Structure 1
């Protein structure tokens, strides 16, 4: 499905990001560049998949992002798919949330997405095609207690994505921008949650289970491929019906 595609995935070291990297690699992408600040957790990716390259990258570092994109495009000619997956949480109730926790989540989840897209989208528009996939959340569409900062960023990337869908195609380029909004997914971020919290969330989910990282990777694969060539500016919820 991804033959001849060069794909870049941020936050590729673990969880959803790693699953997307592995899925794209198995679908015969020409090259998958897995980016993360934790190179140790990606050490085995290049050994498992000859079409994967790992890259240490901080999405908040604008100069570093610009230089990384320059090197990648110089080596591979283009970037066909960008998956903005890198993200963090610093949860707390509003009266206890610190300014530093607000700023850090904003920098990684919102500005990091802006940095990556600003660096890559112009080249996509020049070549005439591309798919930009940004990870939002059902928290970004419907809010959640104790996640003011996270919800704001995930709502923000939806607004940016809808703007990009209009902006990047305005001169005829087939550059698409879409969001995925995961629900309650089994990842390293949820593994330590108390059992009562997990039971509560699964009971609220019509399909009565947590999602898998592969569920999200499958959606990303669809949006990266030609099978979604007439889909742009959309938010696809992959949440088992948690938010309807």
Structure 2
């Protein structure tokens, strides 16, 4: 019962903190992408810091965090893994659903940081447009982050990997860094309860350019799913033990 109370208090303060931090950084963010990144990184750090002492949830980033121009293909289980990846990378460029642009505070900041909004009904066209923008220099260099399964996936649930990641890998000709996580065990997709423990985001060995699409997807899925399952077992997920 106490953890339930802590979880609800944590959620409330995180919701309240978002507009406060957003408004505090707004004057800087209006004139500088660095200001927008600093604001969002500050919010992520606030959420992770308060999670540690309020709900007993510690966030840990493992592996070699890339700093150059690479494609990041990440397991997505929770809003928490978004914040952890964003805070870790120097210049993350998330491929995200277009509806986020219309959200208060978050939407304005994602526009300022030139995140890549995708119309899920026209995903292929959106990826093609994104590639055109990158090649034309409209999107500043950074780490492009895509979720190969296209959405949040609950721990233990299997969703096939979509072809969009393979298209980006082939067209960009950049190394792809797979990312595993167990964040969904502690911070579920739905519900208010937040579990104490250690949430991990782990940057895995890069997949170098040159593989065909089928071989790439097979290797990517094996790396991400195998390591994410291992992290879930490490966290105490009994269904995979």
Return the structure number with greater relative CO, CA threshold 8 A, min gap 6. Answer: 2
**TM bucket by the smaller chain?**
0.3 to 0.5
Q: TM-score, normalised by structure 2?
A: 0.44
Q: TM-score, normalised by structure 1?
A: 0.43
